[in-house]
Amino acid sequence: MKRILWTLSSVLAALGIAAAMLISLNLRGEEPLPATETLQSTPALVQRGEYLARVGNCMACHTTQGGAPFAGGRGIETPFGVVHSSNLTPDKAQGIGSWTSAEFWRAMHHGRGKDGRLLYPAFPYPNYTQVAREDSDAIFAYLQSLPAAPDANRAHALRFPYNTQVALAVWRALFFAPGAPAAEPTQTAEYNRGAYLVNGLGHCTACHTPRNALGATSDAKAFTGGLIPVQNWYAPALNAAHEAGVKDWRTDDVVALLKTGVAPQGSVLGPMAEVVFRSTQYLSNADARAMAVYLQALPQQDRKAPATAAPPPASAMARGGKVYEQQCAQCHGDRGQGEPGAFPALAGNRAVTLADPTNLVRVVLQGGYLPATAGNPRPHGMPPFQQTLSGEEVAAVTTFVRNSWGNQAPGVGTIEVYRARERRGM
């Protein structure tokens, strides 16, 4: 009996120590909140906050189609279920009208709500933790200036145990620590500004970094590319010339891509088109250039020799060539040369030959649409072919363009087309 009691007490003691460590790790860096609001809002602060909210692309997640701006309710798909964005308008019952700037800062910096509950990292506080307090205050002032919307917050639809605070606490203990903007003393002010925007409000690593089985990213793999869990597109590596690296581009071309969605070397589609449309086209010229300078300075991956793959079957190439001639050549050219300023070339296009063909398949199925921006107000688009081409034809034509005019990449099978359809619920 004594042995059983001793074992039980040891287990309880161990659980107590583990719980204390978990609580400690989840409270690290937090300070008591002030009792009263100290922020004094001004028109200049609100204007700055509006700009910063655009840099962070806050509206994209916190606004439903046809809904009031920032009223929340958008469902964000994750591998663990659906997280619904919250109401950020100054409604006192449903929004953040009763919040203080310190509580908003705690949400941005520590991922904790007004009531102290842990927030889900679908809200990218692992990136926003690097945002400076003064910028957080400016965004808060802007949000408080908006019309209040009474839209009720929707409950998340997450599977057990991911819907528990304990699971969130464990995740945070393993993968999150509050940070702060830190300038590199050996770099220029422009570089450091770019690093601050890219890694903080811009939260670029949230998409362009692979996630582990628990949905966490690693600094060691930052910018190396990965499938976007939320939208199921492949976000190409930003530190690899054969994917989406811009190290060898003219800086002005990188700026053009961020502000217009188009550059001589390529254009944006899919989720990145929405980012440019809602966010980066509004960057000041100085901030766009700072981001470009930082992205060009990223340490580059060593490209591994591509695995030797058997040439696609002649039958697939013949079938794909026929589909291409009938459906694609009018815009993209008989030799995949495209038309400058209108239709992108497919020959030598690194987006076409990515190891993961998901993006190419999805563009064929859904169409490709450039963002309408001040610098490119009437962009050309590509129609969707999901109702026109069969899965076999999509597989054949994508195989064809990946292996014609000097392109070399593994062929695409119908299973990959079906998976792309499934990812969109098509």
Mean per-residue pLDDT, 307-334: 91
Using pLDDT thresholds of 50, 70 and 90, give the confidence band for residue 79: confident
pLDDT(211) > 80: yes
Mean per-residue pLDDT, 32-41: 87
- The confidence score (pLDDT) of residue 230 equals 60
Instruction: For residue 50, give its domain range.
Output: 38-175
- The confidence score (pLDDT) of residue 132 equals 96
pLDDT(16) > 60: no
Using pLDDT thresholds of 50, 70 and 90, give the confidence band for residue 342: confident
DSSP 8-state symbol, 376: B
Residue 272's closest CA among 241, 296, 244?
A: 244
CB 66 within 8 A of CB 80: no
Indicate whether 47 and 117 sit together in one domain: yes
| Residue 17 maps to a domain | no
388 SS3 class: coil
271 SS3 class: helix
pLDDT(248) > 90: yes
Q: Structurally, how many domains does the chain consist of?
A: 3
Using pLDDT thresholds of 50, 70 and 90, give the confidence band for residue 424: very low
Mean per-residue pLDDT, 303-308: 61
Indicate whether 207 and 280 sit together in one domain: yes
| Residue 9 maps to a domain | no
What would the DSSP string read from start to end of 299-364?
A: PPPPPPPPPP-PPPPHHHHHHHHHHHHHHTHHHH-TTS--BTTTB---TT-TTTS-SS-HHHHHHH
| Residue 276 maps to a domain | yes
Indicate whether 86 and 154 sit together in one domain: yes
Mean of pLDDT over the chain: 90
**Domain edge (last residue) among 141, 175, 209:** 175
Indicate whether 321 and 411 sit together in one domain: yes
Indicate whether 142 and 223 sit together in one domain: no
pLDDT(12) > 60: no
Indicate whether 43 and 168 sit together in one domain: yes
Mean per-residue pLDDT, 11-26: 57
Indicate whether 211 and 289 sit together in one domain: yes
Max mean pLDDT range (136-145, 204-213, 258-267): 136-145
Alpha helices (runs of H) in 230-269, residue ranges in sequence order: 251-260
Using pLDDT thresholds of 50, 70 and 90, give the confidence band for residue 120: very high
Mean per-residue pLDDT, 26-47: 86
Indicate whether 264 and 151 sit together in one domain: no
pLDDT(147) > 80: yes
Indicate whether 42 and 165 sit together in one domain: yes
CATH value at residue 389: 1.10.760.10
Using pLDDT thresholds of 50, 70 and 90, give the confidence band for residue 36: confident
| Residue 11 maps to a domain | no
| Residue 250 maps to a domain | yes
Is pLDDT larger for residue 28 or for residue 251? 251
Task: For residue 160, count CB atoms less than 10 angstroms from its CB and return exposed for 0-12, middle for 13-18, buried for 19 or more.
Answer: exposed
Mean per-residue pLDDT, 16-30: 62
| Residue 279 maps to a domain | yes
Indicate whether 160 and 222 sit together in one domain: no
| Residue 47 maps to a domain | yes
235 SS3 class: strand
pLDDT digit string, tens, across residues 216-240: 999 999 999 988 866 778 999 999 9
- The confidence score (pLDDT) of residue 426 equals 39
- The confidence score (pLDDT) of residue 306 equals 58
Q: Tell me how far apart the terminal alpha carbons of the chain are, to the nearest angstrom.
A: 62
236 SS3 class: coil
Indicate whether 290 and 336 sit together in one domain: no
pLDDT digit string, tens, across residues 96-115: 999 999 999 999 999 999 99
pLDDT(19) > 70: no
- The confidence score (pLDDT) of residue 8 equals 56
pLDDT(64) > 60: yes
pLDDT(126) > 80: yes
* Count of C-beta atoms within a 10 Å radius of residue 119: 18
Indicate whether 212 and 164 sit together in one domain: no
Using pLDDT thresholds of 50, 70 and 90, give the confidence band for residue 20: low
Mean per-residue pLDDT, 43-68: 96
- The confidence score (pLDDT) of residue 31 equals 80
pLDDT(13) > 80: no
- The confidence score (pLDDT) of residue 25 equals 58
**Domain edge (last residue) among 109, 140, 175:** 175
- The confidence score (pLDDT) of residue 284 equals 98
Using pLDDT thresholds of 50, 70 and 90, give the confidence band for residue 27: low
Mean per-residue pLDDT, 126-149: 97
Six-digit token string for 395: 């597989």
Write the CA distances from 60 to 54, 79, 167, 261, integer angstroms.
Answer: 9, 20, 27, 17
| Residue 378 maps to a domain | yes
